[in-house]
């Protein structure tokens, strides 16, 4: 079975632009979470979506938004990019019903803002 897939793997944007990152969860997983990992730090929680509804939001500005589609894939949008948004963006999926707490991560999208 395929794991969590993210696209694109790398991208470069300039300040003020907008970016959309995409994530496909493991088949059967209905929960998708997004994390931002700045170089040298641990991942920071941005959003969680479960059954197409937002279940959690981290301490990020309104420039960050996300949504989940009927097939449980998800998009993360960041508007008005700042240099500080440069980071690895990780998507994770989970089977909430299993309630093991384990998240399965993709390989991330590396965003560079110039």
Whole-Å CA distances, 16 to 19, 64, 78, 81, 99: 10, 13, 10, 5, 40
| Of 20-28, 60-68, 69-77, 89-97: span binding other proteins (CB under 8 A) | 89-97
| Of 13-21, 62-70, 71-79, 101-109: span binding other proteins (CB under 8 A) | 101-109
d(CA 47, CA 33): 6
Interface with other proteins, residue 66, by CB under 8 A? no
Interface with other proteins, residue 24, by CB under 8 A? no
Q: Is 11 helix (H, G, I), strand (E, B) or coil?
A: strand
* Binder of other proteins out of 11, 13, 20, 50 (CB under 8 A): 50
């Amino acid at each position: 079975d395929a794991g969590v897939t993210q696209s694109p793997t790398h991208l470069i944007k300039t300040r003020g632009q907008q970016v959309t990152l995409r994530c496909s969860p493991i088949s059967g997983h209905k929960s998708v979470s997004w994390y931002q990992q700045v170089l040298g730090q641990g991942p920071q929680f941005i959003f969680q979506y479960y059954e197409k509804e937002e279940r959690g939001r981290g301490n990020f500005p309104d420039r960050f938004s996300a949504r989940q589609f009927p097939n449980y894939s998800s998009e993360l949008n960041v508007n008005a990019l700042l240099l500080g948004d440069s980071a690895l963006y990780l998507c994770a999926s989970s089977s909430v019903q299993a309630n093991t707490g384990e998240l399965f991560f993709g390989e991330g999208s590396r965003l560079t803002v110039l």
